[in-house]
A and B are shown apart, each in its own frame.
Chain A
Amino acid sequence: MPLRVTPKGIACCGAGLEQVSLDAHTLIADWITFEGDRLLIHTGKVDIGQRISTALIQITHEELTIPWGRIDIAPVRTGHAPDEGITSGSNSVEQSGYALRSAAITLREHMIMMAVARHGADAADWQLTDGVLSLSGTNHRIELTDLIPDVAPDVPVDQGHLPAHRAQNDLPRPEMSGLRKMVQGAFTYVHDLEWPDMVHARVIRPPHARATLRDIDPKTVVNLKAAGFSIIRDGSFLALAGTKEWPVIKAATKLSGACDWDLGAGLPAKNVFDALNPKDAQRFLVVDGTPTSKPIPDTNPNLDHTARFERPYQIHGSLAPSAALAHWTGEKLKLHSHSQGIYPLRDSIADSLGLALEQVEITHVPGSGCYGHGGADDAGFEACLVAMALPGTPVLLKWSREDEHAWEPFASAMAVELAAEMEGGKIKAYSAQVFSDTHRGRPRPGPNRTGPARLLANHFRADPIGPIATAPNLGKHAGMHRNLEPVYAFAETHLVKNLVTDLPHRTSAMRCLGAAANIFALESFMDELARGQSIPPFEFRRAHLEDPRALGVLAELERQVSLRPAMADGSGRGIAYAQYKNKMTRVGISVELDVNDRAEIRLLDARIVADAGRVIDADGLTAQLEGGFLQAASWTLYEQATWDQGGIQSRDWDSYPVIRFDNVPNIEVTLLDHPNAASVGAGEASPGPAIAAIANAVFDATNIRMRRMPFTPDAIRQTAAAE
């Protein structure tokens, strides 16, 4: 499909986060280089299964028309890749994609001007097809790659161009990056790395996070060493390494059995939901989505509708336990890791080990899907500790399934208390209070050696660093208060963030942060209030919405729902709407399910309507929305971490069940494309409304209002009995 080249465009999109990456890396060559006839994209965002690679290839192809088979993503490595911080918050397309598109457009226009200088005519007379410039009415043809050597290396990216116009669906789509290798078993994950003279390593874990290592049976140590294993101990951090993986696993089990742990007082066995209250909290009035130090006014006494919603501790539960390969040469520490933030991790590791930043180099290698801050960074640092003890030997360290379930940073347990006053069928006044521990536990530089203090192994070393209390996150729609601010126009709002610390478990970022529980709460509450007023759920939402694109999403969803057959007895339908961070992708979801006599929920059908602005990789976007729905369904129906004084009890997929193929509904996704609007990420857009739509459908089916995840048969029966 030929692309009509247009003269310099006009400013678009502009003011927003999208420029963050470009402001720090201003040259075309920071983002795009060539090797022979292949184009190399440089990005600091890593592919964690969200298909950012595919989207970036698509963007580059759209602007430069070079066939996607000749476009590669450069390895994401510290010291080489642009430092784009952490791949999170659904910002990758917005930030890296914006930078790359701007770089590609600048490059295209620069090369057209080169063609004009060589052969004349107007810029508008040159056409670009398949990476070749041609002048209509002549046989002048110039490969873009032939012009590359003459492009100066210091050409800055010219920001603020309109992307080329395209009609919907008129572009061929690239095959998902890596997929062909995945189906052949040839895609390389960090777990698959195999270096000459490499050893395998395992960490021997304490029974729980507050135990310390008193002693190890010396005879076992002697025997294991005689058998060729290396044992690495630094305080209560204990690891074992050897040449073959299975013997290492068996030896690590032996070594674990030889450890004498001081259990201290054990894990606090308190009920976390009792602890999530204002008494012990740092409290902030949230204004315009942002926590402030303003005094918190008393709650309006007229708020007579109230409800409290809760989410337990949950895990990311990556399918592959975390892993990393580290190699200490004596001068340089090279780490291969599936971390989402290679630069902040590099800084934290260098600080932990007293190395200069230049001595630590991290290369991103794919792991399995992570959905936030799982065990990747911790496993990376543990591999480094073992590698430092074995100079010259590459170390592939893997976590076990139990390690991942019990030791990854959990998603914070949360409570959300809502209250409202109704007037004339509308919400006049609204109050929302959120209670939670931090969602920000990633290692990154900060005061009091925040980076090292957030690496698990540092807590156990002879000279421990951390854990430390986390400062409240005061960013807009950050942490627990993401989407606490309602997207609806309520005349009066009262929003409070309550940071509760000193809770039983280490916590960090998981997909959506606070938005999952906040939208679960708000959208369930909207359903309750609408029913209380006998107003249909679509109409009730519309009455509080002005945004035409929100209304567009609801109208399409309502149209689809109107075509559905009526629900049978024991079945129900629920809807929900949300816009991630109130500024990103808008999503409306309808769910149909049934609840059987054993109080088991079976998901039947889901309709997802989304507006993510200009669509880049439609199939990737759809995959993210479907995947977000199913992960949220899994949280909603099955997932909760459990523990007692002796340690974490949910240590595998039996004790921590998740959704499987036997409860996958029919899912239909509709994308409302807005070619002239900015592209926004959708990886975290569907989970919040998915949870609420399921809760609302359960109520529709049973008249039971579920306000605490997960909705297990036991929980449903208990709720029914309590009502």
Chain B
Amino acid sequence: MTLSLTINGKTHEVRSDPDTPLIYVLRDELGLKGTKLGCGLEQCGACAVLVNGQAVLSCVSAVEAFDTKEITTIEGISGTEIGRAVQDAFLKMSAAQCGYCTAGLVVATTALLSRTPAPDDDMITQALTPHLCRCGSHPRVLRAVARASNR
């Protein structure tokens, strides 16, 4: 059985078993290594991708659940103006240390700002709290979110 996935605007026929979590299809079958695995338990947010514009964790849910959905990974995030603005803001604010959480945070911020161009602090906290950063880059990430939003 093959599944058809739409990723970063392109359609892919996928041969992985349908029970394979999406992230392994992205990384191993399609070579999109930008999405990071941190826990495989939906606890750390490193693996977030956009699914129909929402930030969704990709490390547990089976790939078959994403059939016919529009998926955007970090590699495709610059396809929108908001995505580019978020990447640029992370760059300008040096919003990373080791960078392993960065892809997930850029994805989450893009989802947030696409929905709410000028989010308040509570909305930002809510959007980012599923994401762990162990280096303590949080203040910079928050500054990057502020820079990218219309505030």
Q: Which A residues fall within an 8 A CB radius of B?
A: 48-51, 175-176, 178-180, 182-189, 191-192, 194, 244-247, 317-321, 366-369, 371, 400-401, 619-620, 623, 626-631, 652-654, 658-662, 664, 666-667
Known: A627-B135, A662-B129. A246 touches B20 (CB 8 A): yes
Q: Closest residue to B135 on the A side, CB-wise?
A: A369
Residue B58 at the chain A interface, CB threshold 8 Å? no
Task: Say which residue of A623, A654, A659 sits within 8 Å of B94 (CB atoms).
Answer: A623
Q: Which B residues fall within an 8 A CB radius of A?
A: 16-17, 20-21, 24, 27-28, 31-41, 43-44, 46, 73-75, 77-78, 87, 90-91, 94, 96-103, 106, 124-125, 128-129, 131-142
* Assembled-state Cα–Cα distance A213/B24 (Å): 30
B88 CB to nearest A CB, Å:
8
A sample of 10 more A-B contacts (CB under 8 A), given A320-B38, A630-B138, A660-B131, is: A49-B99, A185-B33, A245-B24, A246-B28, A319-B100, A368-B100, A371-B134, A626-B136, A626-B137, A664-B139
Q: Can you list 29 A-B pairs, Cβ within 8 angstroms, ordered by A? A: A49-B99, A49-B135, A50-B97, A175-B91, A179-B90, A179-B99, A183-B96, A185-B32, A185-B75, A186-B34, A245-B27, A246-B20, A246-B24, A318-B134, A367-B98, A368-B98, A369-B100, A619-B94, A627-B135, A627-B136, A627-B137, A630-B139, A654-B43, A659-B138, A661-B125, A661-B141, A664-B138, A664-B139, A664-B142
A605 CB to nearest B CB, Å:
12
Is A401 within 8 A of B136, CB to CB? Answer: no
The prevalent SS among residues of B at the interface is loop
Is B134 within 8 A of A183, CB to CB? Answer: no
A606 CB to nearest B CB, Å:
9
- Indicate the member of A186, A371, A400, A660 with the most B CB atoms within 10 Å: A660
Is A661 within 8 A of B129, CB to CB? Answer: yes
Known: A184-B78, A661-B129. A623 touches B34 (CB 8 A): no
A-B contact count (CB 8 A): 159
Residues of chain B within 8 A (CB-CB) of A247 are 17
Known: A49-B135, A246-B28, A654-B43. A183 touches B33 (CB 8 A): no
* Assembled-state Cα–Cα distance A118/B141 (Å): 52
Task: Say which residue of B32, B40, B90, B96 sits within 8 Å of A401 (CB atoms).
Answer: B40
Is B41 within 8 A of A652, CB to CB? Answer: yes
Known: A185-B75, A652-B41. A320 touches B36 (CB 8 A): yes
B64 CB to nearest A CB, Å:
13
* Assembled-state Cα–Cα distance A653/B129 (Å): 13
- Indicate the member of A368, A371, A661, A662 with the most B CB atoms within 10 Å: A661
Is A49 within 8 A of B97, CB to CB? Answer: yes
Residues of chain A within 8 A (CB-CB) of B44 are 319, 653
Residues of chain B within 8 A (CB-CB) of A653 are 39, 41, 43-44, 132
* Assembled-state Cα–Cα distance A183/B137 (Å): 14
* Assembled-state Cα–Cα distance A49/B103 (Å): 15
- Indicate the member of A366, A369, A629, A652 with the most B CB atoms within 10 Å: A369
Known: A652-B41, A658-B134, A662-B129. A623 touches B97 (CB 8 A): yes
A603 CB to nearest B CB, Å:
11
Is B91 within 8 A of A179, CB to CB? Answer: yes
Residues of chain B within 8 A (CB-CB) of A628 are 136
* Assembled-state Cα–Cα distance A337/B84 (Å): 32
Q: Closest residue to B39 on the A side, CB-wise?
A: A401
Residues of chain B within 8 A (CB-CB) of A620 are 94
- Indicate the member of A191, A318, A368, A620 with the most B CB atoms within 10 Å: A368
Known: A49-B135, A319-B38, A401-B38. A183 touches B43 (CB 8 A): no
* Assembled-state Cα–Cα distance A631/B37 (Å): 21
B23 CB to nearest A CB, Å:
9
Task: Say which residue of B37, B40, B139 sits within 8 Å of A667 (CB atoms).
Answer: B139
* Assembled-state Cα–Cα distance A619/B43 (Å): 30
Is B35 within 8 A of A179, CB to CB? Answer: no
Is A246 within 8 A of B125, CB to CB? Answer: no
Is B140 within 8 A of A319, CB to CB? Answer: no
A30 CB to nearest B CB, Å:
27
Known: A51-B97, A369-B98. A319 touches B16 (CB 8 A): no
Q: Closest residue to A49 on the B side, CB-wise?
A: B98
* Assembled-state Cα–Cα distance A26/B141 (Å): 41
Q: Closest residue to B76 on the A side, CB-wise?
A: A185
* Assembled-state Cα–Cα distance A626/B103 (Å): 21
Q: Closest residue to A664 on the B side, CB-wise?
A: B138
Is A182 within 8 A of B96, CB to CB? Answer: yes
Residues of chain A within 8 A (CB-CB) of B21 are 246
Is A185 within 8 A of B34, CB to CB? Answer: yes
Is A630 within 8 A of B40, CB to CB? Answer: no
Residues of chain A within 8 A (CB-CB) of B39 are 401, 652-653
Known: A246-B20, A630-B136, A654-B43. A187 touches B99 (CB 8 A): yes
* Assembled-state Cα–Cα distance A184/B102 (Å): 9
Is A369 within 8 A of B129, CB to CB? Answer: no
* Assembled-state Cα–Cα distance A371/B97 (Å): 12
Is A629 within 8 A of B136, CB to CB? Answer: yes
* Assembled-state Cα–Cα distance A629/B125 (Å): 19
Is B43 within 8 A of A631, CB to CB? Answer: no
Is A176 within 8 A of B132, CB to CB? Answer: no
Residues of chain B within 8 A (CB-CB) of A51 are 97
Residues of chain B within 8 A (CB-CB) of A659 are 138
Known: A194-B31, A401-B40, A627-B136. A179 touches B96 (CB 8 A): yes
* Assembled-state Cα–Cα distance A230/B59 (Å): 25
* Assembled-state Cα–Cα distance A178/B102 (Å): 12
Task: Say which residue of A175, A185, A623, A654 sits within 8 Å of B137 (CB atoms).
Answer: A623
Q: Closest residue to B75 on the A side, CB-wise?
A: A185
Nearest 10 A/B pairs, CB to CB: A185-B34, A49-B98, A185-B74, A627-B136, A630-B136, A182-B99, A368-B100, A369-B98, A49-B97, A661-B128
* Assembled-state Cα–Cα distance A667/B37 (Å): 29
B89 CB to nearest A CB, Å:
9
Residues of chain A within 8 A (CB-CB) of B43 are 401, 652-654
Residues of chain B within 8 A (CB-CB) of A619 are 94
B110 CB to nearest A CB, Å:
11
Known: A244-B28, A627-B136, A661-B138. A191 touches B36 (CB 8 A): yes
Is B90 within 8 A of A183, CB to CB? Answer: yes
Is B138 within 8 A of A184, CB to CB? Answer: no
Is A194 within 8 A of B33, CB to CB? Answer: yes
A592 CB to nearest B CB, Å:
15
B2 CB to nearest A CB, Å:
16
Is A317 within 8 A of B134, CB to CB? Answer: yes
B99 CB to nearest A CB, Å:
3
Task: Say which residue of A185, A187, A245, A630 sits within 8 Å of B35 (CB atoms).
Answer: A185
Residues of chain B within 8 A (CB-CB) of A180 are 91
Is B136 within 8 A of A631, CB to CB? Answer: yes
* Assembled-state Cα–Cα distance A629/B135 (Å): 10
Q: Closest residue to A370 on the B side, CB-wise?
A: B98
Known: A183-B91, A626-B140. A178 touches B132 (CB 8 A): no
Known: A183-B102, A630-B138, A667-B139. A660 touches B94 (CB 8 A): no
A657 CB to nearest B CB, Å:
10
Is A368 within 8 A of B16, CB to CB? Answer: no
Is B94 within 8 A of A182, CB to CB? Answer: no
Residues of chain B within 8 A (CB-CB) of A626 are 136-137, 139-140
* Assembled-state Cα–Cα distance A204/B102 (Å): 30
* Assembled-state Cα–Cα distance A321/B40 (Å): 10
Residues of chain B within 8 A (CB-CB) of A319 are 38, 44, 46, 98, 100-101, 132-134
Residues of chain B within 8 A (CB-CB) of A178 are 99
Residues of chain B within 8 A (CB-CB) of A188 are 33
Residues of chain B within 8 A (CB-CB) of A318 are 134
Is B134 within 8 A of A369, CB to CB? Answer: yes
